[in-house]
Structure 1
Amino acid sequence: MKIAVLGYGTVGRGVVTIVEGRARGVEVEKILDLPKNCTQPRMTPNYDEIVDDPSIEVVVECMGGLEPAHTFICRALRAHKSVVTSNKAVVAEFFDEFAALALENGVGLFIEASVGGGIPWIASIEKARRIDEISSFSGIMNGTTNYIIDSMAKEGLDFDIALGKAQELGYAERDPSADIDGVDVRNKTIISASVAFDVACTKDLPVTGIRTLTKRDMLMFENKGLQVKLFGRGVQRDGSYAVAVEPVAVPRESMEAAVPSNFNLVSLEGATVGPLKFYGQGAGSLPTGNAMVQDVLDAAAGRVPCYDFTRGLAYDPSLLTSNYVYRTTVGAPRDAEWYASGAWMLKHLTAVEARETFSKVLEKDPAAFMAAIAKEA
Structure 2
Amino acid sequence: MIRLDIAILGLGTVGGGVKDIINESPRLKEKLNVAAIWVRKEKVDATQNKTNDYQSILDNDDIKVIVETLGGIHPAYEMIMDAFKAGKNVVTANKAVVAKYMEEFIHEAKQNHVSFRFEPSVAGGIPWIQNLKRVLRIDDVQSIGGILNGTSNFIIDAIANQHVSFAEALKQAQDLGYAEADPTADIDGYDVENKLCISTDLAFNTLVKPGDAIKKVGIRNLLKEDVDFFLGRNMNIKLIGQARLYNQDKLAISIEPTLLPVDNTIATVNGNLNYVQLTGDTIGPLGFLGQGAGRKPTANALLQDVVDILENNPYYDIDGSHRLVIDNHNFAAEYILRTELDLIDLQDVSRLEGRYWHLANQTIESAHMLYQEVLQRDNKAIMFRQ
Q: TM-score range by the shorter chain?
A: over 0.9
CA RMSD of aligned residues (A): 1.3
Residue 152 of structure 2 aligns with which residue?
145
Normalised by the size of structure 1, how large is the TM-score? Answer: 0.96
Asked whether the 8 Å contact 1:243–1:320 carries over to 2, the reply is no
Aligned residue for 2:14, secondary structure, equals: helix
Residue 342 of structure 1 and its aligned partner are, at CA, apart by 0.9
Find the counterpart in structure 2 of residue 285 from structure 1: 295
| Partner residue, 1:135 | 142
Do structure 1's residue 354 and structure 2's residue 367 form an aligned pair? Answer: yes
Q: Which residue of 1 aligns with 2:111?
A: 104
Where does residue 232 of structure 1 map in the other structure?
A: 241
For residue 122 of structure 1, report the CA deviation from its aligned partner: 0.8
Asked if the contact 1:263/1:279 (under 8 Å) is kept, the reply is: yes
Within a 5 Å distance, the mapping from 1:68-79 to structure 2 comes to 68-79=75-86
The structure-2 alpha-carbon separation of the partners of 1:271 and 1:106, relative to structure 1 and needing over 3 Å to count, comes to same
Q: Distance in 2 between matches of 1:224 and 1:21?
A: 49
Alpha-carbon shift at residue 332 of structure 1 (Å): 1.7
Residue equivalent to 2:255: 245
Aligned to 2:73, which of 66, 78, 81?
66
Task: Note the alpha carbon deviations across 1:112-132, whole angstroms, 9 max, x for none.
Answer: 010111000111111111111
Asked whether the equivalents of residues 20 and 27 of structure 1 are also in contact (C-alpha less than 8 Å), the reply is no
Tell me, in whole angstroms, the C-alpha distance in 2 between the residues paired with 1:331 and 1:77: 56
Find 2:217's aligned residue among 208, 216, 221.
208
Cα offset for 1:35?
2.5
**Alpha-carbon distance between aligned partners in 2 of 1:50 and 1:18, rounded to the nearest angstrom:** 22
Which one of the candidate residues 255, 258, 279 is aligned to 2:268?
258
SS of the residue aligned with 1:267? strand
- Alignment pair present for 1:372 and 2:385: yes
Separation in structure 1 between the aligned mates of residue 209 and residue 121 of structure 2, nearest angstrom = 18
The 3-state SS of whatever aligns with 1:151 is: helix
Whether the aligned pair in 1 keeps the contact of 2:91 and 2:306 (CA below 8 Å) is yes
Relative distance call for 1:68 and 1:304 in structure 2 (3 A) is: farther
- Listed as ranges, the gaps of 5+ residues in structure 2 are none
Provide, for residues 87-135 of structure 1, a one-character-per-residue CA deviation record: whole Å limited to 9, x for no partner: 0000011011111111221111111010111000111111111111110
1:303 alignment counterpart: 313
Matches of 1:175 and 1:41 in 2, distance apart? 31
| Distance apart, 1:215 and its partner CA | 1.1
Q: What does 1:264-343 correspond to in 2, within 5 Å?
A: 264-305=274-315, 306-318=317-329, 320-332=331-343, 334-335=346-347, 336-343=349-356
Identity %: 39
Helix, strand or coil at the partner of 2:179: coil
Normalising to structure 2: TM-score of the pair?
0.94
| Contact 1:137 1:266 (8 Å CA) reproduced | yes
Whole-Å Cα distance in 1 between the matches of residues 73 and 210 of structure 2? 15
How many residues end up aligned between the 2 structures?
373
Q: Against the structure 1 CA distance between its residues 320 and 19, is the aligned structure 2 distance closer, same or farther, given a 3 Å change threshold?
A: farther
Moved over 4 A (4+): none
Specify the code of the residue in structure 2 equivalent to 1:189. L
Alpha-carbon separation, structure 2, partners of 1:348 and 1:194: 30
Tell me how far apart the structure 2 counterparts of residues 128 and 94 of structure 1 sit (CA, whole Å). Answer: 25
Q: Does the CA-based 8 Å contact 1:182-1:207 persist in structure 2?
A: yes
The answer on whether the counterparts of 2:329 and 2:366 sit within 8 Å (CA) in structure 1 is no
SS in 1 for 2:31: coil
Unaligned runs of 5+ residues in structure 1 are none
Instruction: Give 1:13's match in structure 2, choosing from 16, 33, 46.
Output: 16
Q: Which residue in 1 is equivalent to 2:32? A: 26
Residue 41 (structure 1) shift: 4.2
Report if aligned partners of 2:99, 2:209 keep a CA contact under 8 Å in 1: no
- Inter-CA distance 165–55: structure 2 relative to 1 (3 Å threshold): same
After superposing the two structures, state which structure 1 stretch, 325-334 or 314-323, moved more. 314-323
Q: Deviation at 1:319?
A: 5.5
Query: Any idea what the Cα deviations from partners look like across 1:138-179, whole Å, max 9, x if unmatched?
Result: 110111111100000001111001111111111111111110
